[in-house]
Amino acid sequence: MKRIILLSVFVFIAIVVKGQISYNYQEYGIGVGASYIRGFTNVNTQYNHPEFHMNFIYNYNPYLPITAEIQTGQLSGGGLTPSLDKYGRQYDNHYKAAIIRGDLQLGAGIDYHDNFFLNFVKNFYAGTGIGLMSNSIQNQRYSIYDASYRFPGSNSNIGVIIPLRIGYEVKLYDAYDEPTYAIDLGYAHNVVFGSGIDGYSDPSSKFKNNSPDQYRQIFVEFKYYFGNIVSYNKSVRLSRY
């Protein structure tokens, strides 16, 4: 009789533990990524370049990662003919940026249990943050129409950067139904305040200058999660609908 009772208790505990496994997630993560970037400045023509980044992630919960990121990339534009820039401006910026951001996924706010569609869309997210961008720029300083006019600005500056992000995270699960890996696909639009990314600070009275410099990223990221196992208040992975 004791053996039957002990076996029943063991089976009950195993069922409860198995049922709770899919509620767990790992607290930390690291990631690497690349993106296709393009600037938006007062220089008419802009060119596309690759960008690379790495990050450290703290998962406040499975659907709210807080990320510290380091970026390195190149932005360039313009040329010495009016077809490339009205005034013959051109720039080549090899930049570095450090950003802290948060991405809020839909799964944090919707009930996706027993719903195939909501379980799919739960991994869409939007996010923002703040950081610093260090610019190292080479550019054309003199007008092609008036060689005595020198475009004002700086070849080296640090500006505040605000990223605006949307994306989708594909979670990859281990044998315990915990999200151990992830692949992110998305778009980021970054607004840069200060002297800008093209190195020009022409007065608005002389040149059109209606907004701060910006650049966009079309990105892919690969993440690996590790560290403390934490339980969430609902199942992260749903195997049945």
| Start-to-end Cα distance in the chain | 39
21 phi and psi, to 5 degrees?
-55, -45
Q: Which residues pair with 133 in a beta bridge?
A: 97, 159
Whether the per-residue pLDDT at 5 is higher than 70: the answer is no
Give the chain's length. Answer: 241
Q: What is the pLDDT of residues 141-162, one digit of tens each?
A: 998 888 888 989 889 999 999 9
Name beta bridge partners: 200.
none
What domains sit in the chain, N to C, each tagged with a CATH number?
Answer: 2-231 (2.40.160.20)
How many whole angstroms separate alpha carbon 138 and alpha carbon 199?
Answer: 8
CA–CA distance, 167 with 186 (Å, rounded to integer): 4
> What is the structure's pLDDT at 239?
57
Pair of tokens at residue 191: 């607004």
Exposure string of 195-232, with b = 16+ CB inside 10 Å and e = fewer, is bbbbbbbeeeeeeebeebbbbbbebebebebeeeeeeb
* pTM, 2 dp: 0.86
pLDDT band at residue 1 under the 50/70/90 scheme: low
Integer Cα distance of 85 and 114 in angstroms? 56
> What does the block give as tokens for 194?
């200060």
Question: Taking residues 50-58, what's their average pLDDT?
Answer: 98
* Per-chain mean pLDDT for the chain: 89
